[in-house]
Structure 1
């Protein structure tokens, strides 16, 4: 099943076929990891995955913080599982959609909103009751939901947004390196399923990690807006940006 899923992600990510093509793409990109473009894409993908996996965990934990322990654990489990499924689903679509003229520009603008939201949380986070299961959500500034249904709905909405943010940012950072893109998508899913709580704790303790991720997302957003503008400019009769 995992091999089939990996094949599907790779096919969408770079027009690749079966496992042999997937492996060849990964080997090709990582054998050239010393090249500036490939190395920069790899570092960007890792930092984006780390920061957004931790951010996802903090939001889910904060929203569930006001519930009784049993309901809180169910909401957090629901949030993690939903994030896993959504990341895979968006991975199957987003890189293909980025081939459509104008959507790279739209994706870059969306990532600017993601960066603003991250800045607000890092710089102006308030106090939250926090949940025993997620370390680091005490200063998220998010108000916990008052019922199981409200918490489940809030987590579902947050997961859709954050999963799209994650996959879009990774795809934008590694569009020219399908092997790195594939590994990044797998890494994102693994982090959400295994280590999101640990990452959330360290992001809260070492704030520079969050600010580093914010800078990377701003860089990716700017590059996508630059490339996206030059994709749509000819069709709209606008002047292309010099140097693109």
Structure 2
């Protein structure tokens, strides 16, 4: 197995699990009013349909990112998504809870579609043009999200630094997207040290900016000056 393929696969799985914390919350909220005997059915059907839609959207995104400069633009957008993951990590989720299986499934699919934009961009960028990576990564990570949804939520609550790890993965993916952009690749390929410095700068910059924003340092600075 190609090492780049393996790194991309592990990155996709990491992205899906980290961003899957939100999906776990969505599923829990959408099914909270259902009778216990119906919850598992709603979870499986809802996540299954949402997974099919997400795979389709991500495969489309993989193809779109082959358009010149879109890979770099997607990487820039992913930098903001990584920053936003940290700065907005305490946001509450407002998800409609259904009282029937169909309404719960509908809530899961709609919420997942709306909240899944960051996941689609991140996975498409990490796939580097391999559609099989998209499908394989999602297939591996979704059962982990379903079976470990409660564990994921507990980890996020007890160990907030895990969010920083997730943001770091997204920032790493963003850096790889930009350095793999066809129009920019010659520059980075001919200067490997520049590539390393550039990618490290993105990761460190995202983590610091997100940390400062979350703790109000940026707000206090702008207010003071």
C-alpha distance after superposition, 1:121-141 (max 9, x if no partner) = 32xx1xxxxxxxxxxxxxx52
Partner of 1:168: 121
Q: Secondary structure at the match of 2:88?
A: helix
The 3-state SS of whatever aligns with 1:68 is coil
| CA root-mean-square deviation | 4.0
Matched, 1:50 2:3: no
Residue 142 in structure 1 maps to residue 93 in structure 2:
yes
- 1:177–1:155 Cα change, 3 Å: closer
Deviation at 1:190, TM superposition (A): 3.2
TM-score, reference length from structure 2: 0.61
Gaps of 5+ in 1: 1-27, 126-139, 234-239
What is the number of equivalent residue pairs in this alignment? 187
**Contact (CA 8 Å) 2:18, 2:166: kept in 1 or not?**
yes
Q: Is residue 115 from structure 1 mapped to residue 82 from structure 2 by the alignment? A: yes
TM-fit CA distance, 1:186: 2.5
CA offsets 1:122-168 (integer angstroms, 9 cap, x no match):
2xx1xxxxxxxxxxxxxx52245477699877644431244343243
8 Å Cα contact 1:175-1:181 kept in structure 2? no
Bigger helix share:
2
Q: Retained in 2: the 8 A contact 1:91–1:185?
A: no
Q: Deviations over 1:172-219 (max 9, x none)?
A: 224277776553232234334544343333333332222101111012
Q: 1:207 aligns with which of 156, 160, 169?
A: 160
Q: Which runs of 5+ in 2 are unaligned?
A: 196-225
TM-score (norm 1): 0.57
Counterpart-to-counterpart distance in 2, 1:187 and 1:44: 12
Q: Which residue of 1 aligns with 2:212?
A: none
Q: Does 1:196 align with 2:163?
A: no
Offset at residue 104 of structure 1 (A): 1.0
Which residue of 222, 237, 242 corresponds with 2:175?
A: 222
